[in-house]
Amino acid sequence: MNALIIVLLIIAVPVVLFLLLGLFVKKEYSIERQIIINKTKQEVFDYVKFLKNQEHYSKWVMIDPAMKKNFKGTDGTVGFVYAWDGNKKAGKGEQEIKRLRDGESVDVELRFEKPFAGVATAFLTTTSAQAGQTVVKWGMNGTSAFPMNAMNPFVIDILGKDLEQSLFNLKTNLERAS
C-alpha cells in the first residue's frame, strides 16, 4: 500500500505543480526579434511580402524539405494562403496574409492544426536605418489556453531562438544577392 501511495504522489505532484504554474503564467504570449540587413527598405520588403520566399529563410519551413505545400491566391497580396503538412517537427497548418502596408509591414494569421491546434498572428516590419540598411522586425502573438499556458515561458524562448535564426538566414540570403 505504501508503494502505491508513493507512485501516486510521484505522478500527482508534477501534475499539480504544472496546474498551479498555469494559474500564474499569462495566457497571452508575444515574441519579437529584429536584425539589420544591408539592403534598402523597399528591397527587403519586396522580398518578405512573398510568403513562398520563407522557404529560403524560415527555420520552420526549412525543417522538413519533404513538406507538402498548397497555395491559394496570389502570393504577396492580402488573402494569399500558404498551407503546409509536414513531419512531426513541422506540423500542419496554414498562414494567410491579412494586411500589407507597402514598404512597411506584412501581417499574417497562423492557423495550426498539428501538433497542437491554435491561432496566432505574426508580423514582419521593415524600417529604414542608416543609408542602405533596413531594420527587420519579426514577431508573433497568441494565446495559450489553461493549463498549456504554463509552457509559455519555454515556448517564448524556443520561438525567439527560431526567429533569430530565421532573421539571420534572411540577412545572409539578401546580402549575398548583392
Burial of residue 144, with CB atoms counted within 10 A of its CB: 0-12 exposed, 13-18 middle, 19 or more buried: buried
Query: How many CB atoms within 10 Å of residue 170?
Result: 23
Residues in the chain, total: 178
Residues 26 and 29: their CA atoms lie apart, in Å, by: 7
Confidence of residue 39 (pLDDT cuts 50, 70, 90): very high
Q: What is the CATH number of domain 26-176?
A: 3.30.530.20
- Residue-wise pLDDT for 54-108, tens only, equals 999 999 999 998 999 999 999 999 999 999 999 998 999 999 999 999 999 999 9
CB 44, CB 63: distance < 8 Å: no
CB 173, CB 59: distance < 8 Å: no
Residue 14 sits at the vertex; the CA angle it makes with 13 and 19, to the nearest 5 degrees, is: 100
- pLDDT at res. 167: 97
- pLDDT at res. 64: 92
- pLDDT at res. 178: 65
Q: Is the peptide bond before 153 cis (omega within 30 degrees of 0)?
A: no
Q: Say if residue 139's pLDDT is above 90.
A: yes
Residues 12 and 31: their CA atoms lie apart, in Å, by: 32
Per-domain boundaries in the chain: 26-176
Measure the CA dihedral 24/141/68/49, to 10°: -170
**Average pLDDT of the segment spanning 2-28:** 78
- pLDDT at res. 1: 66
Q: Say if residue 177's pLDDT is above 80.
A: no
Confidence of residue 123 (pLDDT cuts 50, 70, 90): very high
